[in-house]
Structure 1
């Protein structure tokens, strides 16, 4: 699951994938639907800002789910239509934010 910590103001999450590999991501945005579904838009985090500029970074979109213990987990979105719809919402929101 996600481990949230602060580093110079950035919201960072360390996620563990299905193979047990940890990677740190920076939170770019969250979005909650009218139905109460919560989504996270993240990008891989690099300690050295130059590494981020050189990287071919893709936006990672995950859905918040509750596990059997009532803890929040972040899960990939398997439904293509849902992924496209939420992805477009994030792209529109982030485009507006970074145009300024």
Structure 2
């Protein structure tokens, strides 16, 4: 069994715990920065709220920086308002 699946199986509320932290690198941030379209798409389906979580940037911005056009379009299909996401200092990031 894939080790990542063991963690999810043993800690079934891990995504909710991550979601409760206001500023954090979520798994969606990691998937966006690495261009992992399949994983990012699945995370967007499971926890669309992750797309609005900020570390320094949101996951959409990370995908833009990495030139992941297909991932950016996928995010915008789920939530078109991500282009107007306000950062920590009320700055529109995109």
Alignment TM-score, normalising by the size of structure 1: 0.24
Q: Name the structure with the higher strand share.
A: 1
Q: Name the structure with the higher helix share.
A: 2
**Rg: which structure is higher?**
1
Higher relative contact order (CA closer than 8 Å, sequence separation 6+) = 2
Alignment TM-score, normalising by the size of structure 2: 0.25
